[in-house]
């Protein structure tokens, strides 16, 4: 039997923007199916540039990327399948919600794949249930709270049954309760997860493994608890834990 290909396989990816700025200097990153990985790094490290490669928005200057064994290519059929496999949840949910009801927004992607009737309804039900938004299905997205809109944005991507869910700053702009609720949801999703974040405790809570990118290079890749416990490593790459967070326990002395 063939071994299961990794959800994500990034090999030697170098990328220069049209103005000549090299944002990625040969990135290697493999994410196995079912892993949850945090992508950390200071502003300008290249995290967004890397994410934009995963579904073919940007094309590597050198190197290649495969998703579930399928190499990201530029022909229409491959690109459509890659975009189904790589579900990106952008930072602003309003970039992903534009229809009159929550259910229509969640149905949009799978309907574009050609799903109709009971099959489409089942996809929508499944995705809304996964993010705890079933009861809001007939509401107008812009009447929901920001935290609810972010959950619906996650559902729009889940409805495509992606190989990998990529989240850009999932905890940004959430109040503490919404932040915690979203963590509870993300933890239970049966999907490979790559999470770009500056929120190091969130990375610790959700991802066993973290990768630090700086100046377009992977500078660390290992257990989140180990990386976050390395003060020198964090300082070198402009990463800071909120005092007095302790990565060994994930708790502050106040809540111990």
Ligand X SMILES: Nc1ncnc2c1ncn2[C@@H]1O[C@H](COP(=O)(O)OP(=O)(O)OP(=O)(O)O)[C@@H](O)[C@H]1O
What is the binding site for ligand X (CB under 6 A)? 17, 19, 21, 23, 41, 43-49
Of residues 119 and 240, the one with the C-beta less far from ligand X: 240
Of residues 68 and 170, the one with the C-beta less far from ligand X: 170
- Partners of 227 in the β-ladder: none
Smallest separation (angstroms) from ligand X to the CB of 213: 7
Smallest separation (angstroms) from ligand X to the CB of 46: 4
Of residues 47 and 237, the one with the C-beta less far from ligand X: 47
Long-range pairs, 12-17, Cβ under 8 A, ≥24: 12/62, 12/63, 12/64, 13/50, 13/53, 13/60, 13/62, 13/63, 13/64, 13/65, 14/60, 14/61, 14/62, 14/63, 15/46, 15/49, 15/53, 15/58, 15/60, 15/61, 15/216, 16/61
Smallest separation (angstroms) from ligand X to the CB of 14: 13
Kindly state the helix (H) or strand (E) to which residue 166 belongs, with its residue range.
strand 164-168
Smallest separation (angstroms) from ligand X to the CB of 104: 31
Of residues 41 and 170, the one with the C-beta less far from ligand X: 41
């Amino acid at each position: 039997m063939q071994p299961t290909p990794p959800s994500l396989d990034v090999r030697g990816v170098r990328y220069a923007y049209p103005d000549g700025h090299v944002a990625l200097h040969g990135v290697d990153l493999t994410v196995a199916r079912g892993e949850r990985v945090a992508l950390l790094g200071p502003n300008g490290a290249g995290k967004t540039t890397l994410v934009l490669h995963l579904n073919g928005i940007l094309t590597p200057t050198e190197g290649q990327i495969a998703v579930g064994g399928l190499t990201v290519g530029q022909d229409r059929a491959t690109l459509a399948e890659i975009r189904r496999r790589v579900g990106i949840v952008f930072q602003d949910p309003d970039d992903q919600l534009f229809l009159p009801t929550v259910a229509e927004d969640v149905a949009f992607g799978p309907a574009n794949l050609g799903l109709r009737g009971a099959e489409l309804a089942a996809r929508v039900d499944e995705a809304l249930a996964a993010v705890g938004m079933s009861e809001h299905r007939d509401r107008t997205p812009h009447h929901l709270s920001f935290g609810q809109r972010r959950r619906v944005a996650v559902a729009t991507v889940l409805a495509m049954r992606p190989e990998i869910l990529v989240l850009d700053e999932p905890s940004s702009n959430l109040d503490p309760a919404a932040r915690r609720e979203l963590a509870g949801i993300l933890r239970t999703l049966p999907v490979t997860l790559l999470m770009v974040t500056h929120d190091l405790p969130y990375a610790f809570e959700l991802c066993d493994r973290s990768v630090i990118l700086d100046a377009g290079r992977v500078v660390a890749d290992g257990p989140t608890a180990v990386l976050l416990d390395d003060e020198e490593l964090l300082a070198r790459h402009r990463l800071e834990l909120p005092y007095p967070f302790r990565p060994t326990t994930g708790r502050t002395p106040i809540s111990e």
